[in-house]
Amino acid sequence: MKNGEKVVVTGGAGFIGTNLCHRLLCDGHEVLLYDNLSRKGSEKNLQWLTSTHGLSLQVKIADVRDRAALREALKGADRVYHFAAQVAVTKSLDDPLFDFDVNLRGTVNVLEAIRDQKTPPFLLFTSTNKVYGRLNDLQLVEDRLRYSIADDSFEGIGEKRLLDFHSPYGCSKGGADQYVVDYARTYGIPATVFRMSCIYGPHQFGNEDQGWVAHLLFRAIEGSPVTVYGDGRQVRDLLFIDDLVEAFLLAYSHKDLCAGEAFTIGGGPRRTMSLLELIESIKSLHGATPPVTFAQWRTGDQKYYVSDVSKFQKLTGWEIKTGTSEGVSKLYRWIVESRIKETALNETRERIL
């Protein structure tokens, strides 16, 4: 049963988009997924969504750089989640113009398509922790498997932290982040920004460039080697996808409070992990770790990033439910099960052909 709301999700076949589209469709919304399927794995996510939800899901295969297609897709929307992006720092270093076009111009295209409408829909834009730069001023202690923060009273990086874009990706996402906040201020569009740390969960096709939790698990399961850039002690707060999806819904239900605001969103100080710690925990989950080699630190990589999520929690009552070991086990099980299904499907195909 439809409840009359039209929701557009750009990047809807990506990791985060797939999980949000699934939830919205389960809740009875009319969903239009807008994606150019450039991310490896996005076609599998789309296949899964269409086989799960059938014709309730509308699909537009198009690019956010295509202004006419975007304008048409966003017409009459009640809310828009804008996730479509060039998502890797590495790729942005190789091709800054492409990164600029997709992330910054693409977001302004979304904003313009929204501004055009008589009743502008709610917009949520996913920005990144990279807008806070390298955070070299944090006093860190080096432990065996991780960096820790020397100051016991540290509650994480919050919205009051000065913006300090680092890398073309940091600049394009940070620029887009500021455009979204300003369109809310200047044109009165009900728009919100989430500056997100590390998100992980099912439907994530992580690779060396982005999505490290899923990437390391995939590699361990395949038994193939991984390269760790830096010393592996770098720490992130991890947020499981189901908790993020709840936050997306809460941002909409509190849109009057959230409009024009940016929020740092992640697992917070109680859900942190380093690369080396993840590799250790893979050993207990999977029985073996992938072979690891180390390489130079990558540009803009933060040694320690943990979000202070209290502003969003106070405003909306958001609670984070999934701990890191539970979340990592869920992602591990999803990867194993989807590989089993894929192998069975391939075997059936071979038998039939």
SS3 293: strand
Minimum CB distance to ligand NAD smaller for 21 or for 184: 21
Strands 147-149 and 140-142: antiparallel
Lookup: tokens for 74: 């966003």
Shortest approach of ligand NAD to residue 219 CB, angstroms? Answer: 17
Contact between 196 and ligand NAD per CB under 6 A:
yes
Give the gyration radius of the chain's Cα atoms: 20
Please, which residues have CB within 8 angstroms of residue 117's CB and are 6 or more apart in sequence?
74, 75, 76, 77
Segment interacting with ligand NAD, rule: CB under 6 A, options 1-9, 29-37, 115-123, 185-193? 29-37
Binding to ligand NAD, residues 251-310 (CB under 6 A): none
Beta bridge partners of 140: 149
Q: Which of 147, 169, 183, 200 is catalytic?
A: 169
Q: Which of 8, 9, 84, 189 binds ligand NAD (CB under 6 A)?
A: 84
Shortest approach of ligand NAD to residue 101 CB, angstroms? Answer: 8
Beta bridge partners of 6: 30
Segment interacting with ligand NAD, rule: CB under 6 A, options 80-88, 245-253, 312-320, 323-331? 80-88
Phi-psi domain of 252 (left: phi exceeds 0; alpha: psi -120 through 50; beta: other): alpha
Segment interacting with ligand NAD, rule: CB under 6 A, options 78-86, 110-118, 282-290, 319-327? 78-86
What is the C-alpha to C-alpha distance for residues 77 and 259, in angstroms, rounded to an integer? 17
* Residue 33 backbone phi and psi in degrees, to 5: -90, 125
Cβ-proximal residue to ligand NAD, closest one: 14
Segment interacting with ligand NAD, rule: CB under 6 A, options 12-20, 71-79, 132-140, 293-301? 12-20
169 is catalytic: yes
Shortest approach of ligand NAD to residue 282 CB, angstroms? Answer: 18
SS3 131: helix
Binding to ligand NAD, residues 32-61 (CB under 6 A): 35-39, 42
Contact between 146 and ligand NAD per CB under 6 A:
no
Q: Which of 7, 8, 15, 92 binds ligand NAD (CB under 6 A)?
A: 15
Amino acid at position 1, single letter = M
| Contact criterion met (CB below 8 Å) for 212 and 301 | no
Minimum CB distance to ligand NAD smaller for 15 or for 332: 15
Q: Which of 11, 168, 170, 174 binds ligand NAD (CB under 6 A)?
A: 11
**What is the pattern of x (binds ligand NAD, CB under 6 A) and - over residues 209-238?**
--x---------------------------
Minimum CB distance to ligand NAD smaller for 86 or for 281: 86
Query: Could you give the angle at the alpha carbon of 190 between the alpha carbons of 156 and 66, nearest 5°?
Result: 100
SS3 122: strand
Contact between 102 and ligand NAD per CB under 6 A:
yes
What is the C-alpha to C-alpha distance for residues 331 and 203, in angstroms, rounded to an integer? 9
- In DSSP notation, 150-173 reads S-TT---B-TTSPP---HHHHHHH
Residues near ligand NAD (CB under 6 A): 11, 13-17, 35-39, 42, 63-65, 83-87, 102, 106, 126, 128, 196, 198-199, 211
- Positions annotated as catalytic residues are 169
